[in-house]
Structure 1
Amino acid sequence: MDRITSLENEIANLRRTLQEKENELYELRKEYTLQQTNTEAFNLNPQSNANNVFKTNMGDKLTKLDIVRYSRQILLPDIGVTGQEKLCAAKVLVVGAGGLGCPAAMYLAGAGVGQIGIVDYDKVDLTNIHRQILHTEADQNDSKAVSATKSLRSINSHIKVQPYNVQLDSTNALDIASRYDVVLDCTDNVPTRYLLNDACAITKLPLISGSALKMEGQLTVYGYRALKNSNEKDQSYIGPCYRCVFPTPPPPETVGSCSANGVAGPVPGAIGCLQALEAIKLIVGQTHEKLLVERMLLFDGEDMTFRTVKLRGRNANCAGCSEQPAVSQLIDYEAFCKSQATEKDLDLNILPSFRRISPPSLSRYLTEGEDLQHTRPLLVDVRSAAEFNMCRIEGTVNWPSDSLRGGRLVELLDEVRRCARKVVFICRRGNDSQIAAQAVIDAIEDPHKDKIADLKGGLHAWSKEVDNNFPIY
């Protein structure tokens, strides 16, 4: 154990040293680029370089390095020199350095967007790396915002990347967003979507919103304003905001997450890349007809199909973006949506404490019953079949909570009645198990109620307190 601790400390020190050296390299590269730009300006000035009979004409704001580096996209008529100059001057805020934010930020950095802000409160976890491609195994437990910033600087050391290692909320969203021209919503929860929408409505910024779950993805642009684009014929046009399309939040139980429902890594990768493309098109001056304004792109990875659906237009009485909005300042969005804005474990308290068994207590309970198999407690795992097949406590039976209705609930009640000892409900974090246990308590006769309990803290607590080999996911 001492050797492990020693190695961990040594690795931490090496990482700090590496970070310092990378920061030093980043600053040196910036200084070199500035010197190179000044040298180019000197060489292109006939008065300061009278012996040079040739003169090279370039864009007013692009350096030789810019032209070489971004030439492949400058060749596109839709971008050109003017568009590249706009990209180099643009400031884009990417909220979320996860499955969507990583590819989006990578391509924005590659395209030469002058300033990129990265907002993320979380730390890199091993479960992230299969889809969050700016992070590596060496970045585990580091700030996602800092890790992403480090990777982006290695991709393009000539742009400015600003990490914000904070939880975006009503106290800081306006201040951070107002420093940028475009905002990318690369988050995965409803409260932050409403927060970003309202912040962008107040600051009159376009919001490029993406989402991905399981094998599906979505993408659209909210809050577009033609007044900021000289290429628009109708300068009064304003696209719908998120509240125009979704005036009220969905029920929390209907909203999935990658941690609960899973996601195939390339799905957020595809949507994130397309978010970057929409940002580039918007920055260079594409009109709203060519952007995903009043339209939503739907991607289905199972059959590899893309389709675009029409969204409702701007609501003249919208609470967020109308001429006299009801929401003129940011509110408590977790309370408004009745759900969390983070993936931190919920700590529901549905069952009374006497019905909750700690992992060590359950372990002792199982050990005592080893010689009397017929008297062992009944362990009911209410996770999905996919989760149950992935890992489980030996001897548990799987009754997915989604199936506990009608006839399936009747079957479970019969099994509970037949059990001579405790019936312990188990889930991932100790929340769904309480819901399932309470449903059985409400439906079963009084003589059987006392035997029902749940595993406090779920399998995460079991892994931490009893069996370190049990995987946390």
Structure 2
Amino acid sequence: MQCDLKTDTTRYARQVILSEIGVQGQQSLIDSKVLVVGAGGLGCPVLLYLAGAGVGTIGIVDDDIVDVSNLHRQILYTIADVGDLKVLAAKRRINQLNPEIVVHTVVTTLNTDNVLSLLADYDIIVDATDNFEAKYLISDACIECEKPMVYAAISQFEGQVSVFNYYNQHTHQRGPCFRDLFETPPPPHLTHSCSEAGVLGVVPGLLGCLQANEVLKLILDAGEPLSGQLLSIDCLDNTFHLLNIDKKIRAGTLGNTLGATSIPAWRESDWLSPDTLHDWIATYTPFQLVDVRDVSEHQQRSLGGKLIPLKDIIKRQGELDPARRIVFYCKSGVRSKAALLAVRSINQDAELYCLEGGVERYLAIYPDETLPVVS
């Protein structure tokens, strides 16, 4: 049975007194329907805070079971839930927190056959998944269904959050979608799940709270949503960067806090293969090699070149030589791609490349090689 605000004023008293919410806003929360795709590290805090805030109907899509390795970050679950379906364990916990909201669970993975029907009955879609295939599918379906997508992604100590496909009722314009940020998926060998890359447990908690905040802002029409903006967070040095996302004209697709920077499109030709880099070395092709990892990683194992950590790439742009080809590298290719896009946003003419597979793949092919490239 869905909660009736008239009979449950005490539960929401602390937020109802906020001028941005009030009784009318709380009723909007109770009347809203939110689908959360993924009940893992991101989905757990999202679900808890949406339920706590009084979102009236919550849908959960996930087909995984609770494992003991989940417990350090997936705060919905306890040791007693290990072995149970996540959606059922999540529903039990949500009902304990707020028994008067409606919780629908679906044990499945998204695919092109079911995604539109799963999204149809909800107002807002939360992407709490951990793989690119699902993110593109959710984004394309949100475009098709004209629904906002609240996005987040995490890796190790870093994360990002945004709101895609948001229709602004005041300007009557729709914001960028996920493909405006990443037009095409990266190669499979460059993407890593938490089980592969690792993650500090509080990072998905922080990002999930930000996602829940964006959902509540959308329902309440309060503040400015992260539409057309990507909030990027590094929890090791507490840096927050706010980047603008340009909207592009496209056909249907289903079947720095110091000043915002536009993110240009990624191109497949931006990847530089290890073999090509090796050939450039052998033929003395002029280029600048830049390691965008942190100091400790560079000292442990590197290909040489100039060290400019990703977080410093904009403020140290004067150390880059746009007269030469510039090759960015990191552990696997993710951070170097971000560095390339950041530099391209302020210098469209520079010839920039990202080492495909990063230092790991290069040294797997050419073991124990250090490149004699100095800036």
Query: 3-state SS of the aligned residue for 2:10?
Result: helix
Q: Conserved in 2, the CA contact under 8 Å of 1:243 and 1:318?
A: no
Alpha-carbon distance change, 409 to 155 in structure 1, aligned in 2, over 3 angstroms: same
Look up the match of 2:180: 244
Look up the match of 2:189: 253
Give the structure with the larger strand fraction: 2
Deviation at 1:251, TM superposition (A): 1.8
Task: Report the AA paired with residue 146 of structure 1.
Answer: L
Query: 3-state SS of the aligned residue for 1:282?
Result: helix
Q: Percent identity?
A: 42
**Aligned partners of 2:57, 2:28: CA distance in 1, in Å?**
12
- The superposition leaves residues 367-393 of structure 1 with CA deviations (integer Å, 9 ceiling, x where unpaired) of xxxxxxxxxxxxxxxxx9xxxxxxxxx
Deviation at 1:307, TM superposition (A): 2.2
1:406 aligns with 2:366: yes
Task: Report the AA paired with residue 311 of structure 1.
Answer: I
Listed as ranges, the gaps of 5+ residues in structure 1 are 1-29, 38-61, 320-324, 331-383, 385-399, 411-473
List aligned pairs for 1:348-367, cutoff 5 A: none
Listed as ranges, the gaps of 5+ residues in structure 2 are 256-330, 332-359, 371-375
Look up the match of 2:293: none
1:157 aligns with 2:103: no
Task: Report the AA paired with residue 267 of structure 1.
Answer: V
Look up the match of 1:284: 220
- The superposition leaves residues 230-287 of structure 1 with CA deviations (integer Å, 9 ceiling, x where unpaired) of xx2x22x110111122221112222221010100000000000110000000001136
- The superposition leaves residues 107-150 of structure 1 with CA deviations (integer Å, 9 ceiling, x where unpaired) of 00000000000100111111111101111111112111111111
**Aligned partners of 1:217, 1:245: CA distance in 2, in Å?**
15
1:108 aligns with 2:50: yes
List aligned pairs for 1:24-423, cutoff 5 A: 30=1, 62-65=5-8, 67-226=9-168, 229=169, 232=170, 234-235=171-172, 237-286=173-222, 290-312=224-246, 314-315=247-248, 317-319=249-251, 325=252, 327=253, 329-330=254-255, 403-408=363-368
> May I ask how many residue pairs the two structures share in their alignment?
269
Task: Report the AA paired with residue 63 of structure 1.
Answer: K
Query: 3-state SS of the aligned residue for 2:47?
Result: helix
**Aligned partners of 2:66, 2:55: CA distance in 1, in Å?**
25
Q: Conserved in 2, the CA contact under 8 Å of 1:224 and 1:240?
A: yes
Deviation at 1:405, TM superposition (A): 4.2
Flag as ranges the 4+ runs of structure 1 deviating above 2 A.
Answer: 400-407
Look up the match of 2:322: none
Look up the match of 2:274: none
Normalising by structure 2, what TM-score? 0.68
**Aligned partners of 2:366, 2:155: CA distance in 1, in Å?**
29
Q: Conserved in 2, the CA contact under 8 Å of 1:240 and 1:294?
A: yes
Task: Report the AA paired with residue 280 of structure 1.
Answer: L
**Aligned partners of 2:101, 2:186: CA distance in 1, in Å?**
39
**Aligned partners of 1:93, 1:254: CA distance in 2, in Å?**
29
Query: 3-state SS of the aligned residue for 1:68?
Result: coil
List aligned pairs for 1:9-24, cutoff 5 A: none
Query: 3-state SS of the aligned residue for 2:368?
Result: helix
**Aligned partners of 2:180, 2:364: CA distance in 1, in Å?**
36
Look up the match of 1:353: none
Normalising by structure 1, what TM-score? 0.54
Deviation at 1:401, TM superposition (A): 6.2
**Aligned partners of 1:171, 1:126: CA distance in 2, in Å?**
32
Deviation at 1:95, TM superposition (A): 0.3
**Aligned partners of 1:253, 1:404: CA distance in 2, in Å?**
13
Give the structure with the larger helix fraction: 1
Alpha-carbon distance change, 408 to 159 in structure 1, aligned in 2, over 3 angstroms: same
**Aligned partners of 1:407, 1:184: CA distance in 2, in Å?**
42
**Aligned partners of 1:318, 1:153: CA distance in 2, in Å?**
42
Task: Report the AA paired with residue 239 of structure 1.
Answer: G
Q: Conserved in 2, the CA contact under 8 Å of 1:146 and 1:165?
A: no
Q: Conserved in 1, the CA contact under 8 Å of 2:180 and 2:245?
A: no
For CA contacts below 8 A with separation 6 or more, give which structure has more relative contact order: 2
Q: Conserved in 2, the CA contact under 8 Å of 1:239 and 1:293?
A: yes
Look up the match of 2:292: none
Deviation at 1:402, TM superposition (A): 6.2
Between structure 1 and structure 2, the one with the greater Rg is: 1
Deviation at 1:155, TM superposition (A): 0.6
